[in-house]
């Protein structure tokens, strides 16, 4: 997961730059709550999305590791550019999502859903 500082700059060589250090507790504080994977269709894409929050600092570390382990695999196997875990500041939630072209095969749709389900299982087992 990559976060951006307010000025867009961070220490050299550091992959994670955070503007959320003080408010990170808003995202990871409390009991872990995970929503089911939802599907949204737009004019050009099918978006698979899962929202979650809470669970403590171990959740933050888990999602960073999950993203690093799966980023290249997802982008290569599904040929997508939009795979990420982002912070929704308004709702104070993490949002894991994969956007696929609308003409993608049913098999690839299932692969995308399985990636998010795998993340869900890792979160639940943490």
Give 67-125 pLDDT, tens digit per residue.
889 888 888 888 776 888 888 888 889 999 999 998 889 999 999 999 999 999 999 99
Closest listed residue to residue 122, CA positions, set 59, 73, 70, 72: 59
Q: Does domain 28-125 have CATH number 3.30.1460?
A: yes
Residues 103, 45: Cα–Cα separation, whole Å: 8
Give the mean pLDDT of the chain. 82
Which tokens sit at 113?
A: 């859903």
pTM, 2 dp: 0.78
Residues 93, 52: Cα–Cα separation, whole Å: 6
78 with 112: CB under 8 angstroms? Answer: yes
Please provide residue 98's backbone torsions phi and psi, each rounded to the nearest 5 degrees: -135, 125
Whether the per-residue pLDDT at 52 is higher than 70: the answer is: yes
């Amino acid at each position: 997961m990559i976060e951006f500082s307010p000025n867009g700059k961070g220490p050299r060589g550091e992959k994670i730059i955070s503007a959320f250090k003080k408010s990170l507790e808003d995202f990871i504080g409390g009991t872990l709550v995970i929503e089911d994977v939802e599907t949204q269709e737009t004019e050009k894409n099918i978006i698979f999305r899962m929202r979650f929050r809470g669970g403590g600092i171990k959740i933050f570390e888990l999602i960073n590791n999950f993203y690093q382990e799966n980023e290249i695999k997802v982008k290569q196997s599904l040929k997508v550019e939009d795979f990420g875990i982002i912070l929704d500041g308004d709702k104070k939630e993490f949002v894991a999502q994969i956007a696929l072209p609308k003409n993608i095969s049913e098999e690839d749709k299932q692969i995308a859903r399985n990636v998010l389900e795998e993340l869900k299982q890792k979160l639940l087992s943490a």
